[in-house]
């Protein structure tokens, strides 16, 4: 039976007891409104650990002033039963006061320069500062041995890896595969904002990524593949923030050479902003 914990001392006691018994603790941080993508991360955490903690906390510091913090879907009962079915042992459910004891304004912040600055960081200023701030707090609260993050948020995973390396957290970071709808749309809590027509239309994001990959693998210059992708998205009624091909570290790849690549897209459909990516090999 899953145990829901809302007080930090109770969480610490539970984790201390597990560790005293020699158990490895896995952690899956979330903002709730869980779907099959999240549950696959919990299942992956189970493969890497003896016990799994998952957190649900809609983190105010990672939303910009005009973003969807207040309307972000909150579904605690559904999340609890889904987590239990996925094999989660403890649901860590802090409120804002438990997460930010001195209040959000006075909260100590954590910033990872470099990889945070581009793409999502450029379009959502302060977003990764909020993510790094809350993930640092969550790591300190849960003290996991291994933490699992989804690859759909490709840049977030890269930022977290940098955070963990730089602050020397003794935590193994594992990336979980993207789970897609049958039409290719990456699962996301924000898909809830889409009408059924928009959900069908949004499948173009994945198709666009595949076309970018196919184009550069067939020898088309990267800039041309990116421009074609942007135009296709605009023609379908999206407002793209970016549609790019990058190196795994999100730097601009050397076009003369092959190697691992990631195609990333962020685009708005109506009021809903969606992101997606695919990883592939060039050459």
DSSP 59-124: -GGGS-TTSSTTTS---HHHHHHHHHHHT-SEEE---HHHH-TT-STT------TTTTTSTHHHHS
- For ligand PAF, the closer CB: 145 or 153: 153
Is the Cβ–Cβ distance between 82 and 34 less than 8 Å?
yes
Q: Of 21, 84, 27, 18, which is closest to residue 52 (Cα–Cα)?
A: 27
Catalytic residue among 38, 123, 127, 206: 38
**For ligand PAF, which is the closer residue by CB, 6 or 195?**
6
Chain residues in the site for ligand PAF (CB under 6 A): 29-31, 59, 62, 131, 134-135, 153, 156
What's the CA gap between 116 and 56, in Å, rounded? 23
Minimum CB–partner distance for residue 55 and ligand PAF (Å):
7
Shortest approach of ligand PAF to residue 107 CB, angstroms?
Answer: 14
Closest approach of ligand PAF to the CB of residue 152, in Å: 9
Burial of residue 30 (number of CB atoms within 10 Å: 0-12, 13-18, 19+): buried
The least CB distance from residue 134 to ligand PAF, in Å, is 5
Residue 38 bears catalytic tag: yes
Residue closer to ligand PAF (CB basis): 229 or 262: 262
Please identify, using beta-carbon distances, which residue of 131 and 278 lies nearer to ligand PAF.
131
Residues serving a catalytic function are: 38
């Amino acid at each position: 039976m899953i145990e829901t914990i809302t007080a930090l001392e109770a969480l610490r006691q539970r984790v201390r007891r597990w560790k005293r018994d020699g158990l490895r603790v896995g952690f899956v941080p979330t903002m709730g409104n869980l779907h099959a993508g999240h549950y696959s991360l919990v299942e992956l955490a189970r493969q890497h650990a003896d016990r799994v903690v998952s957190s649900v906390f809609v983190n105010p510091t990672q939303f910009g002033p005009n973003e969807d913090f207040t309307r972000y879907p909150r579904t605690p009962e559904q999340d609890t039963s889904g987590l239990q079915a996925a094999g989660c042992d403890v649901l860590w459910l802090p409120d804002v006061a438990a997460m930010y004891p001195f209040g959000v304004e006075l909260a100590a912040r954590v910033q990872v320069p470099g990889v945070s600055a581009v793409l999502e960081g450029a379009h959502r200023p302060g977003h990764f500062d909020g993510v790094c701030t809350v993930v640092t707090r969550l790591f300190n609260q849960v003290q996991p041995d291994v933490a699992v993050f989804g690859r759909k948020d490709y840049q977030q995973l890269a930022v977290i890896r940098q955070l963990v390396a730089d602050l020397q957290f003794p935590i193994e970071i594992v990336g979980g595969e993207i789970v897609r709808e049958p039409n290719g749309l990456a699962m996301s809590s924000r898909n809830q904002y889409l009408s059924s027509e928009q959900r069908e239309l949004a499948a173009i994001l994945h198709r666009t990524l595949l076309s970018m990959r196919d184009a550069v693998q067939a020898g088309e210059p990267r800039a041309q593949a990116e421009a074609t992708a942007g135009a296709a998205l605009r023609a379908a009624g999206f407002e793209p923030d970016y549609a790019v091909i990058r190196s795994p570290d999100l730097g601009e790849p050397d076009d003369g050479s092959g190697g691992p690549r990631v195609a990333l897209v962020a685009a708005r459909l109506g009021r809903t902003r969606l992101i997606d990516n695919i990883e592939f090999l060039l050459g």
